[in-house]
């Protein structure tokens, strides 16, 4: 059994996560959301001679350093890692066991430098708390025995076996070990006036597609996992034609749990999440028709990840039937939900300690939001708390939207309308109602004072599946600059100004 002397200081203490430095900062924001403020994120970067350099940062330090950097900037460039200082560590994993009878498969990563000095020991997952949030634990030098001379003498480190890659059998050429990368955990706060499923357990409740019997709004938080292979603008799910396929955490966005909270618990947890973030902001997402509670949670988590949003992501889920054929039922449900949405928004503005509240609605969800925002009394809300009001392909009567435009602008800092002449769902709605919809582009494009209208027809999107808003990269980039920086259309990359008979609007560059 080889000895491993403890000659150097242990560089990183507390829970940590390791990720690649040579990647955009957008997915790194997603990792940061899974860490507490005093935890570390270690950025790994390949170096010469088959070594890896590890750059440890506190969560708070990274948030400050990223600042206003663009989400698609490479982290190593933004952070100037060479100036930060690094610790070169050999690429080796030491296989260990807690006792002599335990199989070799019970392994941990041990980090050592070029001189063989111990940097840290990864504790097995079963021995950690908050398993879905943290990946490993590194012991500080103070936790080791002062006279310890080898790794096997360190408390709780067990016995080394097959130390280092030189003692392992080489894998056959062409075969690669299938290591499942961990996923990111995104907390999604929710308010819903759906009926709770009485058969669901309290530790993972479910909501039906029916209206709450007593018109109550349930509050709580969902845990959604985002695969580390996630691509911006995608909601990774198993193909619909593979009806036998089940989602996997390393490949797909998954709803892990749904916990119901009391009003006091909800306010406390949301406020804590907001206060910990740099900008102290939240967004509330109101979904469209043909959306279940679970689908709304997944979409909200995806939005938070793609927007590099590290405040409080919130959804309001109204009782959509979740079926294409139930359009008329959903129309009644969204009208019924209006007073509940109004109360929910008011409470978030007053109790979340947020400096900014952004409101985002898609499709039929825009109907409730248009009326609710008009009814909000700014005198009863924290001054200037409502910032961005975003309507994506709103299934709202065009004339009604234009009537409301002035009132909407008076409540929020900026109102943005995304429209498209490729949206099949809106075309069907126009035929059913006999009037144009506010989310349609073309000859009926809504251009009105106080609203920034963006014609999204040129981007590759189809709102029919209620996914286009969040599944097109240029559109998501534009929403990012809105939410994160409050930029006017002329300041946002990818848009160009157009003039029509009704005035000035914007469209995506071809």
The CATH number of the domain holding residue 371 is 3.40.50.1820
Judgement on whether residues 145 and 189 belong to the same structural domain of the protein: no
Q: Are 480 and 388 in contact (CB under 8 A)?
A: no
390, 479 Cβ separation under 8 angstroms = yes
Taking the CA atoms of the chain, what radius of gyration do you get in angstroms? 25
479, 398, 409: which is closest to 445 by C-alpha? Answer: 398
Same domain, 138 and 241: no
Nearest to 11 by CA among 38, 31, 50, 40: 40
Residue 7 domain-assigned (yes or no): no
Residue 136 has pLDDT above 90, yes or no: no
Domain end, chosen from 165, 199, 218, is at: 165
Q: Are residues 248 and 383 in the same domain?
A: yes
Global model pTM greater than 0.85: no
Q: Tell me, yes or no, whether 133 and 239 share the same domain.
A: no
Is the separation of the CB atoms in 416 and 456 below 8 Å?
no
The pLDDT tens digits of the residues spanning 87-101 come to 544 433 433 333 344
Residue 222 and residue 85 share a domain = no
Range of 68's domain?
A: 14-165
Kindly state whether residue 444 falls inside one of the protein's structural domains: yes
Residue ending a domain, choose from 165, 199, 217: 165
Evaluate whether residue 350 is within a structural domain.
Answer: yes
Residues in Cβ contact with 453 at an 8 Å cutoff, skipping those fewer than 6 apart: 417, 419, 445, 446, 447, 505, 506
Contact 359, 345 (CB under 8 A): yes
Place of tokens 């100037």: 80
Higher-confidence position of 116 and 124: 116
> Do residue 106 and residue 250 come from a single domain?
no
Strands 14-20 and 40-46: parallel
Say how many domains are in the chain.
2
359 & 294 share domain:
yes
Backbone angles phi, psi at 132, to 5 degrees: -80, -5
pLDDT at residue 464 greater than cutoff 50: no
For residues 379 and 450, state if they share a domain: yes
Residue 481 lies in a domain: yes
Mean pLDDT estimate for the chain: 75
d(CA 247, CA 254): 7
Domain membership of residue 79 (yes or no) is: yes
Structure tokens at 83: 């100036």
Q: Within this chain, do residues 103 and 252 fall inside the same structural domain, yes or no? A: no
Tens digits of per-residue pLDDT, 257-269? 899 999 999 999 9
Same structural domain, 155 and 201: no
Res. 245 pLDDT band, cuts 50 70 90: low
- Residue 227's pLDDT is what? 87
The DSSP letter of residue 9 is P
Name the 3-class secondary structure at 498: strand
**Boundary residue ending a domain (110, 130, 165):** 165
Asked if residue 411 lies in contact with residue 450, where contact means CB atoms within 8 angstroms, the answer is no
How many CA atoms lie less than 13 Å away from 54 in the CB half-sphere? 21
Task: Please give the structure tokens belonging to residue 419.
Answer: 């429209």
| pLDDT greater than 50 at residue 407 | yes
Q: Could you tell me which residue, 117 or 214, shows the higher pLDDT?
A: 214
* Least confident piece of the model among 1-15, 242-256, 302-316: 1-15
Q: Is residue 434 part of a domain?
A: yes
pLDDT tens-place string over residues 301-329: 999 988 888 888 999 999 999 988 899 99
Query: Residue 64: is it exposed, middle or buried by C-beta count within 10 angstroms (0-12/13-18/19+)?
Result: exposed
Say if residue 225's pLDDT is above 80: yes
Which ranges of 307-337 does DSSP label H, i.e. alpha helix? 327-336
Q: How far is CA 398 from the centre of its chain?
A: 32
Kindly state whether residues 144 and 198 are assigned to the same domain. Answer: no
Give 160-172 pLDDT, tens digit per residue.
Answer: 322 333 333 333 3
């Amino acid at each position: 059994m080889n000895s491993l002397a403890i000659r150097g200081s242990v560089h990183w203490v507390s829970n940590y996560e390791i990720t690649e430095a040579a990647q955009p900062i957008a997915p790194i924001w997603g990792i940061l959301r899974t860490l507490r403020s005093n935890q570390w994120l270690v950025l790994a970067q390949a170096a010469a001679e088959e070594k890896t350099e590890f750059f440890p940062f506190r969560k708070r330090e990274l948030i400050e350093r990223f600042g206003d950097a663009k989400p698609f900037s490479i982290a190593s460039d933004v952070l100037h890692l060479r100036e930060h200082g690094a610790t070169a560590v050999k690429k080796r994993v030491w296989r260990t066991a807690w006792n002599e009878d335990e199989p070799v498969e019970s392994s941990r990563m041990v980090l050592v430098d070029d001189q063989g000095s111990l940097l840290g020991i990864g504790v097995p997952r079963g021995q950690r708390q908050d398993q879905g949030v943290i990946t490993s634990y590194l012991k500080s030098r103070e936790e080791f025995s002062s006279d310890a001379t080898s790794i096997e003498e360190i408390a709780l480190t067990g016995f080394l076996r097959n130390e280092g890659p030189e003692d392992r059998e080489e894998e056959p050429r062409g075969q690669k070990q299938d290591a499942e990368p961990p996923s990111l955990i995104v907390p999604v706060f929710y308010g819903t006036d759906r009926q709770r499923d009485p058969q669901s357990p309290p530790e993972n409740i479910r909501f039906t597609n029916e209206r709450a019997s007593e018109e109550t709004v349930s509050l709580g938080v969902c845990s959604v996992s985002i695969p580390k292979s996630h691509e911006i603008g995608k909601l990774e799910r198993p193909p619909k034609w593979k009806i036998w396929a089940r989602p996997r955490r390393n490949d797909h966005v998954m709803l892990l749990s749904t916990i119901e909270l009391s009003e006091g618990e909800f306010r406390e947890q949301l406020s804590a999440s907001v206060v910990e973030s740099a900008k102290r902001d939240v967004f509330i997402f109101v979904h469209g028709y043909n959306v279940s509670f679970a689908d709304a949670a997944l979409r909200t988590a995806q939005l938070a990840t793609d927007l590099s949003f590290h405040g409080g992501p919130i959804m309001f889920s109204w009782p959509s039937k979740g079926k294409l054929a139930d359009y008329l039922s959903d129309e009644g449900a969204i009208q019924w939900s209006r007073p509940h949405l109004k109360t929910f928004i008011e409470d978030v503005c007053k109790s979340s300690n947020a400096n900014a509240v952004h409101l985002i609605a898609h499709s039929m969800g825009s109907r409730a939001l248009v009326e609710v925002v008009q009814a909000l009394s700014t005198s009863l809300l924290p001054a200037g708390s409502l910032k961005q009001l975003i309507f994506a392909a709103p299934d709202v009567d065009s004339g009604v939207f234009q009537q409301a435009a002035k009132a909407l602008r008076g409540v929020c800092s900026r109102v943005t309308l995304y429209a498209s002449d490729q949206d099949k769902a809106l075309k069907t709605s126009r035929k059913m109602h006999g009037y144009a919809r506010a989310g349609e582009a073309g000859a009926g494009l809504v251009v009105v004072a106080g609203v920034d209208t963006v014609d999204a027809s040129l981007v590759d999107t189809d709102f029919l599946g209620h996914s286009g808003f969040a599944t097109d990269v240029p559109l998501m980039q534009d929403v990012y600059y809105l939410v994160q920086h409050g930029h006017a259309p002329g300041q946002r990359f990818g848009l160009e100004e157009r003039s029509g008979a009704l005035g000035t609007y914007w469209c995506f560059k071809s």
